[in-house]
Each structure stands twice: as structure tokens, then as C-alpha cells.
Amino acid sequence: MTQKIPTRIYLNEDEMPRYWYNLRADMKEKPDPILHPGTLKPVVNADMEPIFCKEAVKQELDDNTKLIPIPEGIQNFYRAYRPAALIRAYYLEKELGTPAEIYYKFEGTNTSGSHKLNSAGPQTFYAKEEGLKSLTTETGAGQWGTALAMACAFYGLDLTVYMVKVSSEQKPYRKAVMETYGAKVIPSPSNTTESGRKILAADPNTGGSLGCAISEAVEAAIKTDKCRYVLGSVLNHVLLHQSVIGLETKIALDKYNIKPDIIIGCAGGGSNVGGLIAPFMGEKLAGKSNTRFIAVEPASCPSFTRGRYAYDFADTAQTTPLLRMYTLGCGFIPSANHAGGLRYHGMSPILSKLYHDGHLEARSEIQTDVFAAAIRFMKTEGILPAPESSHAIKAAIDEALECKKTGEKKVILFGLSGTGYFDLSAYMSYNAKTLSDQVPTDEDLQKGFASIPNIPQNK
């Protein structure tokens, strides 16, 4: 191939995807069904509609429709910040001296700073269409809360964000940007909900967790008229929306006839890597490619690599439906020394199933290695990456250096899911060498596993 590949490939507006891709439709082995926590039977739409928007529930439970049209009202929202660039990492390749070709899909140029906007828009659009007035959600590192605040400002809905307390203290500017978009931000656990009061009673000094904040947000949504809860990762409909990342990437690569050998994404709840890999995994499951897929998670919250594949709650207060997923237990809280997101105890059921069946690899990385990779990347490619995204950078560099050893000219694609503008205190700690690498002990894990519900499906 002699065609020169540009540093940045942008799709034209008329090349942008008109459909989301529902990977489940192409999985012969489907993820296990979501269970009602009371009856332990598969949930039906009516079970979930008091919590989520109807359309989100419909998408959540649809394992069969392969292509789901993106409504014009959402395409219009996407046009406000998409297409995202697919970037050839020429500078990084040169610095590494690797024969590999490295590409990354950069989702961080919107103000929320990450891919999260891709699902915040659709979920808010549906809420508006269904006549709702307000939404609630949780946020940890703040990317999801910011994205949703932007979407709610765009569509004109009120928003309450329960923000993990330790994060709201470490990131006052995250709070400020959400508030500037008009959202109400409540540090969680708070005394505004029963779940919050219970958690505070048990530990008044807790810094909170995503699981706690979810409990509060769900409770607040149920108790408020014309209000629903929205979640930024883990769930099937979120991965569906995020398939726009992979679809755009595939259209761009296909234009230049580039076939990735390895696709890498960071994994917290799985929405970013799940969205990126979706159409490529569909090809692999159909026997049309041999692409390797690698999910990279923090060693301090290793749900894939050290978790159990079991039915578990999505939240700490154990109020949500049960998801079969790789989980550290809904009571697991990662060490406070862990900087950045990817702190969720569980993992997308779709990705969990793919991992369980051997279609997806996973690895974990300690955070000082991740920051070192981030700085290597930013000094060559220019972009200040989010600590989350830097897990993917670390693995991409490792794979490229492996190619240097073997002389293989592999094509490596990774997801650069977001920027690190709000993570500079973590970079400062790394620079000052005060960032440590505590990973959970086996005892820590056992404590977490004890919170996984003891139900027949888990025997």
C-alpha cells in the first residue's frame, strides 16, 4: 500500500454513522439476562421503567436488533462535537522506534473531555422525548457528570449529580464546570437520601464510591416526579451508544484499507472499550478477522483479572437489578490512593461474557507505570491524556515495543478516551513521586467478594 496515511483522519459529515451497532445481535452466546433482585427472574421492561427511560430499557433488553437507527435529534447532537479524529501516532512510533503502526481514536476534544458524551446525549434526548423534566446520575472522576450536564443544558432538562465525595473535594473544577452548565452537584454519600444516610451512619468519614453514589441517584430518581436515573457505563444501552466510536473508527480505517491486528481500550465499567471494539468484534465473531482485543484495567480495581464472574448488584446499597459480570463485589471500594476513574466494582455484562468465552483479553496495570506511559505519550503526541485512557496507552506502547523486538509490523489501534485537564493534581503527585501503587490484597478481595449476593444463580 503506497497511499500516504494522514496524521488525522476525519470523516465528512455525510460519512458519519446513522445507526448504532448492537454487538449482542451477533453474539451466538448472549450475555446472561439481567435478574430482578426480588424474584431472581429475568427482568421485563416494566421492572426497569420506573428507574430508566423507556427507550433505554428497550435498548437494554434488546439482544437481537443488529442496527438501531440514531434519531435525527441525536445525530444533531453528535454533530456538535463529532466526528472524532482517528490519529496515526507517527510521533510516538518514531520515538519508540517500532515497526508497528499505531492509531488512536481521540474522544477528548469535547468539553466533557471524554467519550461519555456519546451516551449522555442519547439518554437525555430520550428523556426529553418521553416528557421527563429531570435526571439524576452519579459521577466519580467527573467525566460522566460533565457530559450529562452538557447534554441536559443542550436539551433543557434539570440534572442532579451525586459526585463521589473524595472526587468532589479533589476536583473542585469538575464541580464548577457541571454547575456552570446548570447542574446541581451533591457530594455523595449525602444526607439527602436514605441510602446516603445509611452509608454515612456506618462510616461518617467515608470518601464515598461509585456504588454509593449510584444508590443515592437511583433513590432520588424514583422519589421524584417525571425524573429518571441515567448511568454512564456498564449497561448494554450505554455500550450500544458508544458503538459510534468503533463505527467511525472502522469507516475511517476502511477508507485506507487498514486492518487492526490489536485493539486496546481502558476498562472501568467498559463503555469506552466496548464501544471501540464493537464492530471489529462483530467481524471476529463472524470468523472474518483474527484481531486481538485487550481491555486494560487498573491493578487497584481489577474486576476482569482478579474478580469473579457472578450475579451482583450495580450499587452498594444493593437496590438495583442483578447483572452477571466480572465483579469485585458491590461492597468493594478501591484504595483512596488510586488516582482517576476506572473505580467501578463490576464490568459490562457484554464484555464480561466475551472475556469469559475467550474473545477478549484483559490485563491490569499499576498506576505509576500508567503515568509514565502517559507522559511519554504527551511529550511526543502532544495530548495530555486522562489517567483512565493512559491504561490503553501503556498497553499500546508495550505491544509496539514487543513488535520492535520481533520486527513485526503490526497495526495497533487504541482508544484515547479522554483528556487529563482535570487530573493535574494526580500528575503533580506523580511528578513529586508521591503516587503509590497499592493493589488490593487477597484479603481485601475476599471482603469484597463477601458482598456478592448469595443466590442460586451464583452457585
Nearer Cβ to a copy of itself, position 15 or 29?
15
Q: Are 77 and 125 in contact (CB under 8 A)?
A: yes
Q: How far is the CB of 428 from a copy of itself (least distance, A)?
A: 5
First to last CA, the chain: 53
Closest CA to 67 of 128, 19, 110, 1: 19
Q: How far is the CB of 105 from a copy of itself (least distance, A)?
A: 14
What b/e readout covers 362-385, taking b as 16+ CB neighbours within 10 angstroms?
bbbbbbebbbebbbbbbebbebbb
416 vs 83, 109, 124, 368, 394, CA distance in Å? 14, 11, 24, 18, 11
| 390 backbone dihedrals φ, ψ, rounded to 5° | -70, -20
Binding site for a copy of itself (CB under 8 A): 6-8, 10, 12-13, 79-81, 83, 91, 109-111, 113, 150, 153-154, 172-173, 176-177, 179-182, 375, 378-384, 419, 421-422, 424-425, 427-428, 431
285 vs 265, 292, 410, CA distance in Å? 18, 12, 21
Nearer Cβ to a copy of itself, position 157 or 310?
157
Nearer Cβ to a copy of itself, position 84 or 325?
84
Q: Are 414 and 377 in contact (CB under 8 A)?
A: no
CA distance 20 to 10: 19
CA distance 117 to 419: 13
Grid coordinates in use for 205? 468519614
Q: How far is the CB of 336 from a copy of itself (least distance, A)?
A: 20
Nearer Cβ to a copy of itself, position 81 or 449?
81
Nearer Cβ to a copy of itself, position 273 or 396?
396
Grid coordinates in use for 289? 478477522
Q: Are 216 and 196 in contact (CB under 8 A)?
A: yes
Strands, sheet with 411-416, edge to edge from the N-terminal-most edge strand:
8-9, 86-88, 101-106, 411-416, 262-266, 292-298, 361-365
Nearer Cβ to a copy of itself, position 75 or 438?
75
Q: How far is the CB of 384 from a copy of itself (least distance, A)?
A: 4
Nearer Cβ to a copy of itself, position 6 or 50?
6
Q: How far is the CB of 382 from a copy of itself (least distance, A)?
A: 5
Q: How far is the CB of 420 from a copy of itself (least distance, A)?
A: 9
Nearer Cβ to a copy of itself, position 60 or 107?
107
Q: Are 421 and 384 in contact (CB under 8 A)?
A: yes
Q: How far is the CB of 422 from a copy of itself (least distance, A)?
A: 7
Q: How far is the CB of 274 from a copy of itself (least distance, A)?
A: 24
- Across 189-318, where does the E strand assignment appear? 227-229, 262-266, 292-298, 308-313
CA distance 34 to 37: 9
CA distance 164 to 323: 22
Q: How far is the CB of 176 from a copy of itself (least distance, A)?
A: 4
From its phi and psi, is residue 135 left (phi > 0), alpha (psi between -120 and 50) or beta? beta
Nearer Cβ to a copy of itself, position 176 or 450?
176
Q: How far is the CB of 8 from a copy of itself (least distance, A)?
A: 7
Nearer Cβ to a copy of itself, position 108 or 448?
108
Number of residues that make up the chain:
459
Q: How far is the CB of 210 from a copy of itself (least distance, A)?
A: 23
Nearer Cβ to a copy of itself, position 38 or 97?
97
